[in-house]
Amino acid sequence: MKNKFLFNDSIIVRFVSLFVIGAILFTTVWYLSYHFLPDGILQGKTGSAIMVGSDAAPTMLEEWGTIVMWNLGGLLLIVLINFIRYLDRFPLGYIPPLGQIALYAIFLGTNSFSIPMAERMAPTLAVFSRGGPYEMMAFILIAVATYNQSRFALTQDMHSLKDIPRISPVPRLSLEQWVGIGLAIALILLAGWHEAAMIMAL
């Protein structure tokens, strides 16, 4: 892994690097979605929306629990995908946060939430009053905190799953990586509570 920013020894440098990429992607997709996509284009069509439904939970605690459950599952998925590295250079766990950021931008720009806002949100810094941006930061943070935990490497010479080379030894997580994981979980918990409060207030 040679990129001096995305794969820097400092978790702060890695986080800022992936965050900048995510911020550019988010702003671009949000702008395009707001101006060019129809209202509610993805409403009720994602897996989580189909399983959870379009009604708020009876209590704020239950709503918070549902939000947190899905987002902690998202964190775990990123960790598991980070177990695979492409060409011994790129941890695949860096990809899901960018996908989630793009999807969230579409949801904002088209108001496709299961429990929609009064109207779609135009690109503005007011988005930081919502829980979503902080959840996206948590996804980025968990990705960069576990970037070097790959167990398998995808190579161009692979012909079957049996040919996947194993990576050994896998480095132990450092203190700053554990702190990053803890902060990611804390962000999910706090952002989920804020999001649940907004939903219950609709």
32-46, 93-107, 117-131: which is most confident: 93-107
What value, to the nearest 5°, has the Cα angle with vertex 200 and ends 195 and 201? 95
pLDDT at 1: 53
Identify the bridge partners of residue 166 per DSSP, sorted by sequence position.
152
Does 16 have pLDDT greater than 90?
A: yes
Please state the separation of Cα 49 from the chain's center in Å: 16
> Sign of the C-alpha dihedral, residues 62, 98, 116, 53?
negative
Which amino acid is located at 131 in the chain?
A: G
Which residue's structure tokens are 């720009």? 109
Q: In which band, very low, low, confident or very high, does the pLDDT at 116 lie, cut at 50, 70 and 90?
A: confident
pLDDT at 167: 78
Does 49 have pLDDT greater than 60?
A: no
For 52-73, the pLDDT digits (tens) are 556 677 899 999 999 999 999 9
Torsion of CA 80, 82, 84, 90, to 10 degrees: 170
Q: pTM for the full model? A: 0.91
pLDDT at 201: 84
CA–CA distances in Å: residue 128 to residues 132, 191, 195: 8, 11, 11
For 134-182, the pLDDT digits (tens) are 999 999 999 999 999 998 888 766 656 566 677 778 899 999 999 999 9
Residue 2: strand, helix, or coil: coil
Q: What are the residue ranges spanned by the domains of the chain?
A: 29-151+164-201
